[in-house]
Amino acid sequence: MAAGLASALVLAPEVFAGTTVLWRVAWLPEWGLDFALRLDGLGLLFTILILGIGVLIVLYAAYYLPKTDDLHRFYISLLGFAGGMLGIVLAENIVLMVVFWEVTSLTSFLLIAYKYQEVEARISARMALAVTGGGGLALLAGVLLLGSVAGSFDFSVIEARAGDVRADPLYPVILILFLLGAFTKSAQFPFHFWLPHAMAAPTPVSAYLHSATMVKAGVFLLARMYPVLAGTDLWFVIVSTVGAITFVYGAYVALLKHDLKGLLAYSTVSHLGLITLLFGLNTPLAAVAAVFHIVNHAIFKASLFMAAGIIDHETGTRDMRRMGGLFYSMPRTAVLAILAAGSMAGVPLLNGFLSKEMFFTAAVAHPGFDGANLILPVVATIGGMFAVAYSVRFVWDVFFGQPPQDMPKTPHEPPGWMRLPVEILVALVLFVGFLPQFSVGPLLTVAAEAVLPGAVPEIKLAIWHGFNLPLAMTVVAFGLGVFQFTRRHKLYALQERYTWRLTSPVAFERFYRGATRVSTSVMALVDSRSLQRNLVLFFSFVLVLGVWAWWTTGRAAGWVSTLTGPLPVGEVDLASAFAFAVLLFGAVSTVVYRRNRVMAVIFMSVTGAVVSLAFLRFHAPDLALTQLSVEVVTIVLLLMCLRYLPETPVAQSTGSRRLRDGVLATAAGVGVSAMAYAMLTRPYETIAGYHMANAKPGGGGTNVVNVILVDFRGYDTLGEIVVLAMAALGLHALLSGTRMQGPPTVALAKADRYPIMLAELMRPLLPLSLAVAVYIFLRGHNLPGGGFIAGLVAAVALMLQYVAGGVDFASERLRLNYVRLLGVGLGIATLTGVASFWFGASFLTSTHGYVYPPVIDKFELASAMAFDLGVFLVVIGTVLLAMTEIAALRRGETTAPAGAPAKDRG
Amino acid sequence: MTLREWLVPQPILTLAIAALWALLAGDVSGGTLLLGLTLGLLIPVFTSQFWPGRPRTFRVGAALRLMFVVVYDIIVANVAVARIVLGNVQGIKSKFVDVPLDTDDPYVATILASIITLTPGTLSIDIDMDKRVAHIHGLDVPDQSLLIDEIKTRYEAPLKEIFGC
Amino acid sequence: MMAHLPFLPVLIPLVTAVVLLIATKADIAVKRSISALSLGLLVTAAAGQVLVSDDGIVRVYRLGDWPAPYGIVLVLDRLAALMVVLTSVLAMPVFLAATSGTDERGLHFHAFLQFQLMGLNGAFLTGDLFNLFVFFEILLLASYGLLVHGGGLQRARAGIAYVVLNLSGSALFLIALGLLYGFLGTLNMADFGVALQAVKPEDQGVVAVMCALLVTVFLLKAAVLPIGFWLPHVYTAATLPVAALFVIMTKVGIYALLRVVTIGLLAAPFTAGLLQPWLTWLALGTIVLGATGMLASTSLGAVVANLVLVSGGTLLLAVAEPGAGSIAAALYYLVQTTLVTAALLLLADVLRRQRGEAEDRLVAGPRLQSTTVAGLFFLFFGVAACGAPPLSGFIGKIMVMQAMEGSAHPALIWTALIVSGFVAALVLARAASVVFWEPGAPDGTDKRDVSLVPASGLMLALGLLTASIIAVSVWAAPVASYARAAAEQMLARDAYVSAVIGDPAAVQRERRP
Amino acid sequence: MSAEALAAFLIVTGGFFVLLGSIALIRLPDIFTRLHGPTKATTLGVGAIVIASSVAGYAMTGNVSLKELSVSLFLFITAPVSAHLLAKAALKEQSKDR
Amino acid sequence: MEVLVSVALGVLTATGVYLILRPTTFSVVLGLTLLSYAVNALIFFGSRLNAGAPPLSVAGLSNQTDPLPQALVLTAIVIGFGMTAYLLVVALKAKAESGTDHVDAGETR
Amino acid sequence: MLTPAITIGFVLVGLATALTLWRLAKGPTMADRILALDTLAIDAIALVVLMGLSRGISFSFEAALLIAMMGFVGTVALCKYLIGRAIIE
Ligand code: NA
Ligand code: NA
C-alpha cells in the first residue's frame, strides 16, 4: 500500500500540471471492456485517501485484531478491497469501474462476515452484499447503456459527449441506474440500512470501508459522473432530495444509537447524505464543497472509528450507557477522540468546520433557494443541529458523565502503536483545519477541475469568512444541538416505543426466507416433480407449437389445403381394411387391458405383428423381419420383468385426469394423422436415386437397404450398435448387485420349471437355428437379412437354452463374458472402419470383391461383412446379457438365510 | 475321445445341418455343400456343450418308415378331426389318459410325445420320467386301452428300434 | 492422421470404450489409466481441431467416402471445434473427480464416460440430421448409465423420468425426421437448408410444422421453460461429477438449435422468423424459472442445476434473435458457463465428502477441514457463476447484454439477466454462509467418510477448471474473437453449403412417386 | 395334374385346414380340446400352403426351391412343445383357480 | 388407402401417448412401444404408398421403393429396442428401490 | 387357376384369423389367449406365404421362417410366465 502511495505520488506532479495520465491494456476491446486507467485530480485525491488511510488502518489492525484469528484472510480481503477501490477511482473504462465496484462489494461482504461465528455478522454481510451488489448491477446496466449512447466506454470520450448523453431519450434511465449504484453504495436513504449493520465487521474495517473509502465510492461516482450526468433538473431533484433526507435522517438516528459504532455509522450515513446533497445542488461551489467534505469526513471519521475501536478493545463494550468517565483512564485517546468529534460537529479550527461552512454557504447561495424559499438552509441547519447533538453525546457519554457501570475490562491506554494512526489523522484534522489552503488547497483544486466541466470557481479556503449567514447557521446549529443533547432522553423513550425494525438483519433474513418460501411454493406449483405432469407439458407444448406453426405459415396457401396434396388417393382393398381393423383392435385393447398385463402384452404384440405385415406388404422385407424379431425379444424381456412388478398396479388415475390425457392423446393422434396424410398425398424429390444407382457398383450389394445400412450410412449403424451395447451395459450396471423377489409363488416342481419336452427339443433346435442365423447373416448384403436379424435369431436360439435348462445349465455350457463379447463386437465393427485408413480412405470406406476359394463358387466378400459381424456379436451380447441379468435378479432367493431382509418391499 | 469324436461329435447333426443348408440355399452345388458341411462341423463343436454327450445309434431305415407312418397318420387323422370339429362337439368324449412308457431315455420319450401331439386326436400334456408315463389328452376317446395300445405299437416300438433302446 | 482429424474426437472415445469393455475384468487402476491416456489424446485432437478450423475453412469428412448429401459427413467448422474442445476440456476434470471414488460405485463408469464423449463429439461434428439423432441417442443412453451410476432410489426415480421424457423426445425427433425426409427428401443439414428454399407455398404450412417439431426436440434437451422441469431433478439425482459432465448436455440442445437455425431455418423466408415471436419469452421464462428454482433450492447441487437452467435461458436469447453479435456472445457465454457450473458441481462434491450426512444440502454440517482452499474455490466459482466481475461470468453477461441491446425487448432481457445474476449472488452467498460459516455439528455425530477427504483427483479437477476459467477471463478477447468468427462462419451459409454438398444444383434429386 | 393345379389344390386344402384349426378353437368346449385344433390342423394347413408356394414357384419359374419346407419342418418340431407348454399352463391356471 | 394409413398412424400415436401418460411404468413401456410403431411406420411411409418393387439394385428391376426410409427405420427400430430394454430395467430398479411401480416411484408430492 | 385359389386361400385364412382373434379377445383363460396368439402367428405365416404368391413379394419365405421361430419363442415365454412367472431361472 505504501508502495502504491509512493507511485501515486510520483505521478502527482503531472496531475498537478493538469495532465490526465492514461494507461491502457487491451482486454476485450471489441466488447468495450479494456483495462484502461486514468489518473486525474479526483483520482489522485481518492488514491491518496485510500492508500494513506489504508496504511494507517493496517498498522492499527495489527494491534487491534487478536493474533489467533486467521489474519491472512483479513489482510487478503483488505488488500483486495483496497485494490478494488483504487480500481474504481482510477478506471478510465467505465465497465472496468463496475468490475472494481463489485470487487469492493464482495470484499466488503467477506470483511463484514469476518467474525462469521456470529450469526449477525453472517446475515449483515449478506445484507450488505445484497444492497451494494444489487446496486452494482444497476450501475452495470447504466454503464452499458451509457456506453451505447456515448459510443464508447472510455470516460474521456463519454465526458466529451456529455451533452449528447444528457439529450438522449435514455438519459433518465441511465441516470437512475447510475444513481441506484451510487445511493446503495453510499448508503443513501432508503438504501442506508445495510451500513449500520456492516458494523458487525471488525473496527478497522468499519473505519476503512464503511466510513473512509468504500461508502465513498458512491459519492465518488457522483463526482466522476458529475460532468456527464449532472446539471439537469432531474439530477437536481433526485440527488439533492435523497441527499437531504439522508443527511437529516442519519443525523437524527445517530443521536439515538447507544452503540458507539452505531452512532458513528449513522453519522456516516448523514455525512454521506450531506455530500450527496451537495452534488445534487448542481452548483460548482457545492460540488467543490462535496469533494472537500469527502476528504474531511474520511479523516475525522476514520480517526473516530479507530478511537471507538480502542475504547471497545480496552473496555470490552461499545454501549455508551455502560461507559463514562473514560477521560480519566485514557486521557490521550480521549483528547484525540474529542478533537475528531469536534470536527464532526463542525467546530471551528478543525477541518470539518471548513467544509460545513462551505456547505452552508452553498445552501444559502443556491439560486433555486432565494430568500423566499428557505427550505435548504433550514434543512442544513437541522442536520447540523443533530450533528452537534450526537457529537456532544459521544464525547459526554464516553469520556465524562456518569462513572462506568460494570465494564468487562478495566480501561487503560492502548499500546502506543495502536494509537499512532489516530494521532496522525487527528494531526491532519488540525493541520487542514488551521492551514486549509496550504494543506489541501492544490489537491482540492485539481480534484475540482476533474469534477467540474466548466471553469472552477476560485476556491477560498480560509478559516474566517467574516460574519455572514452561514456563520449564523453554525451558531444556531450549535445552540440547538447542545439543547437537543440535554433533552436526548425524551427521544430515547420515543425511540423505544416506535422502534422501526424493518431494516435489521433479522428483517433481511426474514425477507430472504420469505422469498425462499414463496419460490418453494411457486416451484411446487409449477413443478410437481411428476413425470406425468412433465409429459403432459411436453406433449401439449409440441401440439401448441405445431398447430401454431401450421396456423401462421399455412395462412398463405389456405390452411386446410396445406394438408391435402395433389397425389391421387389409392383404393382400399379388403385385406388392408382387415389389417386396419386388427390394428385398431390390438392398439385399443392394449389400452383397455393395460392393467391385465399379460393381456396387454399379447394385444401389443398383435398390433406389432400388423405393423410388421404392413412393412412386408409395402416391400420392406428387412423391416418386417427386424420388427418381428425385435418385438418378440422385447416381449420376452417384458415378461421377464413383469415377474418382479406387483400383480395389482398402483391406483388408477382419476377420471378427469384420464379425460385430460385422452384429449391430449387424441389431439396427438389427429396431428400425426394430419401430417401423415399431408405427406402421403404429396410428391417429393429425393436423393435416393444415387443410392439405387451406386449400391451395386459402389457398395458391392444388391440389397440397397442393407448397403445403406452397412455402407452409405454405416456410421449410423455403428452408432446404433453402440446404443445397443450401452443399453446392455447400462442394465448390467443397474442390476448387478440388485436382488429382487417377485410376489410369492407356489414352489414349482422341477418338471414345471424345466419342462422336459422343451428341454429335450431345444437341443437339436440350437444348431439348426444357428445354421439359419448364419444363412441370414451371409445373404444380408444382397438380400434381406444381415447381421442384426441373424444376431437376434442366434440370440433367441441361445436364449431358449436358458429358458429350457435354466441359467446355471446354460451359463455352464456357454462360457461367454457378454460384456467382453460386446467389446469384441464393437471392436470388430470399429476395426473394419479403421482398416480403410491404411488405404488412405475415410472411416468405414468399404471394399468388396469376389474370392474364389477352392470348390466353392465365387463368393462375394465385402468388407462390410466384417462390419456386419460386429453387429451380429453385439446383438447376441446385448440380448443374452439382458436376459441373464434380469434372470439373475432372483438368484440367492432360495439360498438366502431365512428372515433375511428382503430387498423388495413390494 | 477319438479324433473322430472330437472332429465330428454329432455326425447326424452335421448331416442335418448340411441338409438344412442345402435346403435354405436352394441348390446342391459344390460350394453350397462345402459351406454346409463346414457349418455342420463347426456349429456342433460350438454347441456340443449343450448335448449330454451321447452320439447314439440311429437306424435310418426304421426312421424313414416311422416318418411315413406319422405323415400318413397326420393327414388321415386330420380328416377325422375335421369331422369332429364340424360335427356335434358336445357329444365328444375327451379325457386324460396316462400312457406307460417303456423307454427311460427322456429324448426318445420326447420324440414319442411329439408324435402323439402331431397326430390328431391326441395331445401330450406332460412326460413324467420318474413314473415313466406320458400324460396325454384325447379329443375323443371311446376306448382308452385301444388308444394306449395303438400308441405303443405304432410309434413307441419303432422309436425304440431307431434309437436302439 | 491429419486427414482424419475431424473424426478423431469420435473415434478416440469409441476405441477406448471398446478396449475398456474387452478389458472389463481389469483392475480399476488399469481402466483409469486407459481412460486418462485417451482423454489426453482427445484433448490434443480437439485442440488440433480448434487450431486447424481457425483458418475459416469448413472441413468435410466423408464417412465411407460417400459424398454429401448421399452419405454421412462430418463437418468441422469453428463452432464444431469449439464445442468439441469444450467437451474434451470438461471431460478431464470430470474424469479426475470421478477417480476419487465415484467410478467405483458401480460398473462400467469409464466406458460410459467414453461413450458419452463419443456421443457428444459425434453430435457436434455431424452434418447429417439423422446421424444427429443417432448420436443424441448415444449421448442420452450414456447419460442414463451415468445418471443412475451409484444406485439408490432417487437416481432410479430420476432415471425413469429422464429416460421416459427423453424417449418421448426421441419419438418426436423421429417424427420430425420422418416428415423431413418425406417432405424434402434429404437428411443432410446443408441440403436441408437448400431444400427449404425450394418449398412451394402450398407446402410451406406442413414443412413449418415439421421445423417446429424439430425445434421442440432441441428445446427439450436445452430444458426450456414448460419442458425443462426435468433438469434440476436429474442433476441433483446424479453423482456430482456426473452432474458436472451433464452441464454440457443442455448445451447440445442449444448447439443443435443454433445449427438448425443458421443452416436451415434462416435459409428460407417462411421459416426464418419461425422462432422469434415466442422463443424470447420462453428464454425469459426459463431464466425466471431458474432464478425461482435457485431460491427454492435446498442443496448446493440444486442451486447449480438451476443455474444451468438460467444459463440455458440466457443462451436461448441468442437463438431467438440470431445474429453475429448475439451468437458470438452466446458462444462465449456458453463456454464459460459450462466450465463454471461444472466447477461448482465438482466443488459441491468436495464439500459433500466432508459434510457427512449433511451432504451438499444447505444445512449446517460438520466443520470443514479445508475451509481456506475450498472457500477460495467457492468464492472464485461463485463470483464467476453469478456473473460478478471480474471473471468470465461477468464478461459473458456484458457480451450478451450488449448483443441484446438491439433486440425486441432489451429492457426485459437486461432486467432478467441482471436480476437472475443478483438472485444467484444472494443464493450463493447464503450457501457459502451456511456451508462454510454456520457452526457445525459436534464431532460425535460427524459421519464423514474420512478416507475420501483428501481426494487429490477432485482437487486437481478443481485446479484445472480454475485455470480454464482464468484463461477464458484473461484471454477473453481471443476467445471472444474466435466466437465472433465462429458466429460469422455460421451465418455464412453459402460457404458451408458449398463445402458440404458442392453445387446445390448438382445434387441428384429424383421426383417421386 | 399340372404343378399349378397342384399348387391351387394345396392352397385351398391348406386354407381349409387352417380355418378348421380356428373353428376348433371357437367351437370346442375347453382349453384342452381346443388345443387340438391349432396344433394339428393349422400346422398341417400352413404346411400345405408353404408347399404350395414351392410348387407355385416351380410352376412360375421352373426352378425347384424346397427351402419353404424348412418352415414346415420348424413348425412340426415346435408345435408339440408349444402344445405341451400350453397344456401345462392351462393346468397351472386351473389349479390356481381351484 | 392414404386415409386408412394416416388414421392407423394416428391411432397408434394416440394409444401410445395415452399409455405413456399412465402412472405405471409398465403402461409407459407399452405406450412407448406403440408410439414407436407409429413413428417407424411414419418414417417408412415417407416413401409413399404407391411405390413399386422392393429396393433391390438388380438389373431389370425398375420403379423400386425408396430405400432410405427403410434404412432409417431399421436404425430406429434397433435403437428403440435398446432403449426399451434399458427402460424396463430402470423400471425394475425403481421398483426394487421404492417398492412401487408408479412412475414417480414413491415421490411424496 | 392359381389366382382364384389364392383368393380362396386368403378368404379362408382371413376367416381363420378373425375367428382366432375372437378367441383371443374372449379367452376365457389366459392359456386360451396364448393359444390364440400362437395360432395367429401360424395364420400369419399362411397369410405371408399367400401374400408372396399374390403380390409377388419376394421375401415371404424369410418372413415365414422368422414368424415361425419368433412365434414359438413368444409362446414359450408366455406359457412359462403363466406356469411359474419366471421365464428363465
Ligand atoms: Na440387412
Ligand atoms: Na435431455
CB-based touch A/F (3+ pairs, under 8 A):
yes
Question: Is C340 a member of any domain?
Answer: yes
Instruction: Say whether pLDDT at A23 is over 50.
Output: yes
Distance A833 CA to ligand 2 centre (A): 30
Distance C211 CA to ligand 2 centre (A): 19
Q: Residue F10: which domain range?
A: 3-83
At F87, list the grid cell.
421365464
Q: Are residues A188 and A320 in the same domain?
A: no
Kindly indicate the confidence band of residue C276, based on its pLDDT and cuts at 50, 70 and 90. confident
Nearest chain B residue (CA) to A797: B47
Peptide bond into C322 cis (omega under 30): no
Q: What is the pLDDT of residue A498?
A: 60
- pLDDT at position C448, please? 47
Number of structural domains found in chain D: 1
Cβ atoms within 10 A of the Cβ of C222, count? Answer: 28
Q: Name which of A515-529, A843-857, C140-154 the model is least confident about.
A: A843-857
Q: Assess D53–F contact: CB distance below 8 Å, yes or no.
A: yes
Q: Which of A752, A757, A772 sits opposite D81 (nearest CB)?
A: A757
What b/e string do you get for A785-818 counting C-beta neighbours within 10 Å, with b at 16 or more?
Answer: bbbbbbbbbbbbbbbbbbbbbbbebbbebbebeb
Contact of chains D and C by CB distance (3 or more pairs under 8 angstroms): no
CA nearest neighbour of F29 among A106, A599, A396: A599
| A448 Cα to the center of ligand 2, angstroms | 59
pLDDT averaged over every residue in chain A: 86
Total domains present in chain C: 1
B-D C-beta contacts closer than 8 Å = 98
Q: Looking at residue A850, what is its pLDDT?
A: 60
Phi/psi for A38 (5° steps) reads -135, 145
Residue C59 host element (H or E)? strand C59-62
The residue range of the domain holding B94 is: 89-163
Residue A97 lies in a domain: yes
CA of C220 to the centre of ligand 2 (A): 6
Of the listed ranges A501-505, C363-367, E64-68, E76-80, the one predicted with least confidence? A501-505
| Domains: count for chain F | 1
Ranges of H-type helices in C54-152: 78-98, 109-125, 129-147
What confidence category does residue A416 fall into, taking pLDDT thresholds of 50, 70 and 90? Answer: confident
- Of A414-428, C280-294, E11-25, least confident by mean pLDDT is A414-428
Contact state of A598 with F74 under an 8 Å Cβ cutoff: no
From A44-58, A706-720, B31-45, C131-145, the region with the lowest mean pLDDT: B31-45
Contacting chains of D (3 CB pairs or more, <8 Å) are: A, B, F
**Residue C365 has what pLDDT?**
82
Confidence (pLDDT) at D60:
80
Cα separation, A48 vs B76, in Å, equals 119
What average pLDDT is seen over chain B?
85
Distance, in angstroms, between B125 CA and closest chain D CA?
5
List the single range of A227-236, A373-382, A386-395, C327-336 with lowest mean pLDDT. A373-382
CATH number of the domain bearing residue B141: 3.30.70.100
Task: Label residue A323 exposed, middle or buried (CB < 10 Å: 0-12, 13-18, 19+).
Answer: buried
**What is the structure's pLDDT at C451?**
41
Residue of E nearest to A883 (CA): E85
B119 Rama sector, left if φ>0, alpha if ψ -120 to 50, beta otherwise: beta
- Residue numbers of the domain that contains D66: 3-97
**Residue A169 touches partner C, C-beta closer than 8 Å:** no
Whether residue B120 lies within 8 A of chain D, CB to CB, comes out as yes
Query: Which member of F20, F53, F79 has the closest CB to residue D89?
Result: F79
DSSP state for residue A467 in the 8-state scheme = S
Q: D with B: 3 or more CB pairs under 8 Å?
A: yes
**Assigned domain for A323 exists:** yes
User: Per residue in F41-76, is it b (16+ CB within 10 Å) or e — as a string?
Assistant: bbbbbbbbbbbbbbeebebbbbbbbbbbbbbbbbbb
Nearest to A389 by CA among A282, A283, A532, A490: A490
Compute chain C's Rg from CA coordinates: 22
Q: Is F84's CB within 8 Å of A621's CB?
A: no
Of residues C307 and B74, more confidently modeled: C307
Q: By the CB < 8 Å criterion, does F23 face chain A?
A: no
Residue B50 has its nearest CB partner, among A766, A768, A774, at A766
Q: Which one has a higher pLDDT value, C177 or A840? A: C177
Query: How does pLDDT run across C52-108, given as a tens digit for each residue?
Result: 999 999 999 999 999 999 999 999 999 999 999 999 999 999 999 999 888 988 899
- Dump strand ranges (E) for A340-420: none
Whether residue C263 contacts residue C496, with contact meaning beta carbons closer than 8 Å, is answered with yes
Q: What is the pLDDT of residue A855?
A: 46
Whole-number mean pLDDT of chain C? 92
What is the pLDDT at residue B46?
81
pLDDT the model gives residue D11 = 95
* Chain E residues whose beta carbon lies within 8 Å of the beta carbon of residue F59: 54
Amino acid at C239: T
pLDDT (average), residues A851-873: 70
Of the listed ligands, the closest to the CA of C173 is 2
Mean pLDDT, residues B42-58: 75
| Residue F15 forms part of a structural domain | yes
- Closest-CA distance, A767 to chain B, in angstroms, reads 6
Whole-number pLDDT of residue A185? 93
Would you state the pLDDT for residue B120? 76
- Cα–Cα distance, E52 to E64 (Å, whole number): 5
Please indicate whether, in this complex, the C-beta atoms of A538 and C168 are within 8 angstroms of each other.
yes
Q: Position of cell 478389458?
A: C23
Q: Rounded to whole angstroms, how far apart are CA atoms C22 and C38?
A: 16
Residues B96 and B35 placed together within one structural domain of the fold: no
CA atoms within 13 A on the CB side of A331: 1
Give the pLDDT band (50/70/90) at residue E108.
very low
Is the distance from CB of A777 to CB of A786 less than 8 angstroms?
yes
Asked if residue C513 is part of any domain, the answer here is no
Residue A511 lies in a domain: no
- Return d(Cα A215, Cα A195) in angstroms, integer: 9
In this prediction, the answer to ipTM > 0.85 reads yes
Grid cell digits, residue E41: 411406420
Looking at the domain assignment, is residue C511 inside a domain? Answer: no
Chain B residues with CB-CB distance to D33 below 8 A: 89, 92, 94, 137, 139
**What local confidence, expressed as pLDDT, does residue C452 receive?**
44
> What average pLDDT score do residues B6-16 get?
79
**Confidence at residue A414, expressed as pLDDT on a 0 to 100 scale:** 81
* Cα(A622) to centroid(ligand 1), Å: 6
CA of E89 to the centre of ligand 1 (A): 28
Q: Which residue has the higher pLDDT, C218 or B33?
A: C218
Q: Please state whether beta strands A684-686 and C510-512 pair in parallel, antiparallel, or not at all (unpaired).
A: antiparallel
Q: What percentage of chain C has pLDDT greater than the value 90? A: 80
For residues E32-67, b (16+ Cβ closer than 10 Å) or e, as one string? bbbbbbbbbbbbbbbbbbbbebbbbbbeeeeebbbb
What's the pLDDT at A896? 32
Q: By mean pLDDT, which of A296-310, A726-740, A771-785 is the weakest?
A: A771-785
Q: What is the pLDDT of residue A223?
A: 94
Mean pLDDT of C360-389: 87
Beta strands at A33-39 and A21-28: parallel, antiparallel or unpaired: antiparallel
Q: How far apart are CA A592 and CA A607, in angstroms?
A: 14
Q: Which of A588-602, B45-59, C313-327, E62-76 has the lowest mean pLDDT?
A: B45-59
Q: What is the pLDDT of residues D23-57, one digit of tens each?
A: 999 999 999 999 998 888 999 999 999 999 888 88
Q: What is the whole-number distance in angstroms between the Cα of residue F64 and the centre of ligand 1?
A: 17
C contact test, residue of A100, A531, A848 with most C CBs within 10 A: A531
Please give the pLDDT value at position A898. Answer: 33
Instruction: Give the residue with greater pLDDT, A245 vs A838.
Output: A245
Instruction: Return the pLDDT at C419.
Output: 94
Task: Specify if A209 maps to a domain.
Answer: yes
E32: CA distance to ligand 2 center in Å?
A: 17
Asked if residue A902 and residue A818 are part of one domain, the reply reads: yes
- Same domain for A309 and A200, yes or no, is no
pLDDT score at A900: 34
Q: Does the pLDDT at position A245 exceed 90?
A: yes
3-state SS class at A40: coil
Query: Residues B94, B147: one domain?
Result: yes
On whether residue C110 sits in a domain, the answer given is: yes
Name the DSSP class of A200: G
- Of the spans A26-35, A375-384, C278-287, which averages the highest pLDDT? C278-287
| pLDDT at A317 (0 to 100) | 82
Q: What mean pLDDT do residues C481-505 have?
A: 95
> What's the domain range around A159?
1-229
Residue C224 to chain A, least CA–CA distance (Å): 11
Q: Smallest CA–CA separation between B141 and chain A, in Å? A: 24
Per cent of chain A over pLDDT 90 is: 40
Whether the per-residue pLDDT at C344 is higher than 50: the answer is yes
Question: Is there a single domain that holds both residue B93 and residue B43?
Answer: no
Tell me, what's the pLDDT at A410? 75
Are the beta carbons of A712 and C168 separated by less than 8 Å?
no
**Residue C167 domain boundaries:** 2-439+452-502
A740 interface with E at CB cutoff 8 Å: yes
The number of domains in chain A is: 4
Question: For chain E, what is the mean pLDDT?
Answer: 88
Q: How far is A673 from chain F (nearest CA, A)?
A: 26
Which of A16-25, B47-56, C40-49 has the highest mean predicted lDDT (pLDDT)? C40-49
- A351, pLDDT greater than 90: no
Residues B43 and B93 grouped into a single domain: no
Q: pLDDT at residue C208 above 90?
A: yes
- Which residues does chain A have within 8 Å of residue F51's beta carbon, measured at their own beta carbons? 613, 616-617
B85/D28 touch (CB, cutoff 8 Å), yes or no: yes
Residue A14 vs residue A537, higher pLDDT? A537
Does D65 reach chain B within 8 Å, measured CB to CB? yes
> Would you say residue C446 lies in a domain?
no
Condensed to tens digits (0 to 9), the pLDDT of residues A109-150 reads 999 998 888 888 899 999 999 999 999 999 999 999 999 999
A665: nearest Cα among A834, A552, A536, A754: A536
Is the pLDDT at C15 greater than 70? The verdict is: yes
pLDDT at A499: 57
Whether B124 has its CB under 8 Å from any CB of chain D: the answer is yes
d(CA C227, CA C224): 6
Task: Say if CB C307 and CB C223 are below 8 A apart.
Answer: no
**Assigned domain for F67 exists:** yes
According to the model, what pLDDT value does residue A372 have?
Answer: 56
- Return the residue matching grid coordinates 411424496: E108
Q: What pLDDT score was predicted for residue A791?
A: 95
Mean pLDDT of C112-128: 97
Q: Band of the pLDDT at A434, cuts 50, 70, 90?
A: confident
Least confident range from A318-327, B156-165, C258-267: namely: A318-327
